[in-house]
Amino acid sequence: MTILVLNCGSSSIKADVFQSSTLQRLRSFRVERVGTEQCVLKEADIETRLGDVGHAEAIKSILNKIEEPIEAIGHRVVHGGERFVHPTRITTGVLEDLQNLVELAPLHLPANIAGVEVCREHHPTVLQVAVFDTAFHATLPRRAKTYAIDQEIAVRHGIRRFGFHGTSHKWSAQQVALTMQVPLEELRIVVCHLGNGASVCAVENGRSIETSMGMTPLEGLVMGTRVGDIDAGALIALAQKEGWSLEELDLFLNKECGLKGLSGVGNDMRDILERSAEGDDKCRLAINVFVHRLRKYIGSYAAVMGGIDALVFTGGIGENSNVIRSRTCQNLGFLGLRLDADANSERPSTSKTVVEVSHYASRNKIFAVRADEEMMIAKDTQALFNELDTVVRPMGIPIAISARHLHLTKRRSRCCLVRGQP
Ligand code: ADP
């Protein structure tokens, strides 16, 4: 039996099939450029052109290729709002609740929901689990999640910080604790997830207590195309002076800023590093602003936790760019963090998830960790599946004569539990 994990982004889809008990990864599918003529489905070296299809059609193509029996499906869901702070079995009611959250993440949630709907249609009796990007940050203390506005207005409109990339931050923190052979509950870790979207998280004793993304994934670091932190007054000035509507401003801040806006050559850090090395001034500035902002966050998160035991780099840039890691770690000796130039030339891989890049004389540790949100989602899905098993047994309901009956039994028992929750 297998667990399928589906990670639907705005223009890409990742789908991994895991053996249900060992969580060995059996198959890995990637769809790129969803919604364009160039949409392509890849599995290992095999590429299938899908033509101009949307998320639903692309997911169907993946499901049609999976012959292995599926026991449970885990979905990455970007936003869980106030309500969803744990992996949750997806019922019709939960799906409706997710639809009501779309305005909190209009770029991502529709793709996540499309994934759930297609899977429910294709595998109506299989357990479906939502794992939320925001869930790991449910532990943010009030002082960290509150914006300085009248709280009556804030509550009325849900204006508060949620944080994102939680699955990745949690995974990295767990991997680092295992490598250090120190319980996660005893560590202060700063995780830098640097991909197209980027965020930093302060993980104290295994809990997220600060993170750089806020109410939406727009706050914080310089990202591929997102602006990150900017004076709210600058937004008012921009809208007034350019005569932009709110929609135009939204598009600008999400799609035209960050590395793309600064460099003028696009959002790909590899291109920007290359041009910068050739002396391109805009690209040099883009990297300087990116690194400077990141260093500010690392320092402030160390201050928030009263120290730091480990600094972690993950995501496409964090895993692969020794230049960005080295620039970021310059002069962090005051935090007991010293990079080793040789070790830093290595990068994590499927066979080595965690690479230590700190110097042997560094008081605290620096790591590069291979992001694997799909594995984390598979673990959460497996845990919920097993938990449902233990719920079913004591109630004396016979377990599975066939897989279909098992799933139906699990579904019913979970429905009762969900209704009992606040
Ligand atoms: P997403 O947030 O879309 O999942 P990724 O985590 O795949 O993004 O990260 C994409 C970013 O990683 C891009 O900016 C890409 O340029 C960067 N990247 C990938 N490989 C390297 C590398 N060798 N050096 C620098 N940046 C890299």
DSSP characters over 287-327: HHHHHHHHHHHHHHHHHHHTS-SEEEEEHHHHHH-HHHHHH
Of 107, 270, 274, 372, best ligand 1 pocket probe by most atoms within 8 Å of the beta carbon: 270
pLDDT one digit per residue (tens) for the chain, 422 residues = 999 999 998 788 999 999 999 999 999 999 988 888 889 999 998 999 999 999 999 999 999 999 999 999 999 999 999 999 999 999 999 999 999 999 888 878 999 999 999 999 999 999 999 999 999 999 999 999 999 999 999 999 999 999 999 999 999 999 999 999 999 999 999 999 999 999 999 999 999 999 999 999 999 999 999 999 999 999 999 999 999 999 999 999 999 999 999 999 999 999 999 999 999 999 999 999 999 999 999 999 999 999 999 999 999 999 999 999 999 999 999 999 999 999 999 999 989 999 999 999 999 999 999 999 999 999 999 999 998 866 544 444 434 333 334 444 444 444 333 332 33
Cβ proximity of 29 and 41 under 8 Å: yes
For 328, the 3-state DSSP assignment is helix
**Strand 198-204 and strand 354-356: pairing?**
unpaired
Ligand 1 and 315: CB distance under 6 A = yes
Q: Which atom of ligand 1 has the smallest separation from the CA of 224?
A: 14
User: Of 373, 403, 404, 351, whose CA–CA distance to 6 is shortest?
Assistant: 373
Ligand 1 and 250: CB distance under 6 A = no
Which residue intervals of 66-186 are DSSP H helices?
Answer: 92-100, 109-122, 142-145, 151-157, 166-180
For 368, the 3-state DSSP assignment is strand
Of 271, 317, 372, best ligand 1 pocket probe by most atoms within 8 Å of the beta carbon: 317
Residues written for the chain: 422
